[in-house]
Amino acid sequence: MIEVRTFLRNPDGTFGQLSESSAPPKDPWYVEGAIELVVDGVEVCGQAQWDLVDQLWAYICTMLEEFRTQDRVSTNFPDMPVELVFERLPAGRVLVTCAGSEVRRAATGEGEFVRALSSAARSALEQLSALLPSNSAGYEDALRRLGK
């Protein structure tokens, strides 16, 4: 089972789910937040790895696009010393690794993983586009990388 949630970071340092946000972040060019990715009960990344969440989603869209033709793709978080890696394994599985001050990893079915992450990316970027219409062109570009 794959769970993906997107959070925005509040000015007081707490986090609120993007899906429950109705007000735009104060700075549209510095959208702080986190992506919580839980793979089969293992939190691969979460609020401890908060960063520029809209840019991170765009990077993940690029990773998903590249993962169609490559067996290993990675990206660094926009503003943190954290690396996210997707690596294709035998038998239709994928190893997901988030490496920062600690390394967390989990393996799961590739098809389920790609569908869940693509769906979460679409949802997050569409919600961010509604909150921050001035950024919507960039979000649309990231969404195009996901294909249909």
pLDDT at position 148 is 67
pLDDT digits 0-9 by tens, 53-87: 999 999 999 999 999 999 999 999 999 999 999 99
Q: Is the residue at 142 inside a domain?
A: no
Residue 96 counted as domain residue: yes
Task: Indicate the number of domains in the chain.
Answer: 1
Is 86 within a domain? yes
pLDDT at 123 over 90: yes
Asked whether residue 143 is assigned to any structural domain, the reply reads no
Burial class (CB in 10 A: 0-12, 13-18, 19+), 38: middle
The domain in which residue 82 lies consists of: 2-19+27-137
Average pLDDT of the segment spanning 133-142:
95
User: Could you give the percent of the chain with pLDDT greater than 90?
Assistant: 93
Which band of pLDDT confidence, cut at 50, 70 and 90, is reported for residue 22?
Answer: confident
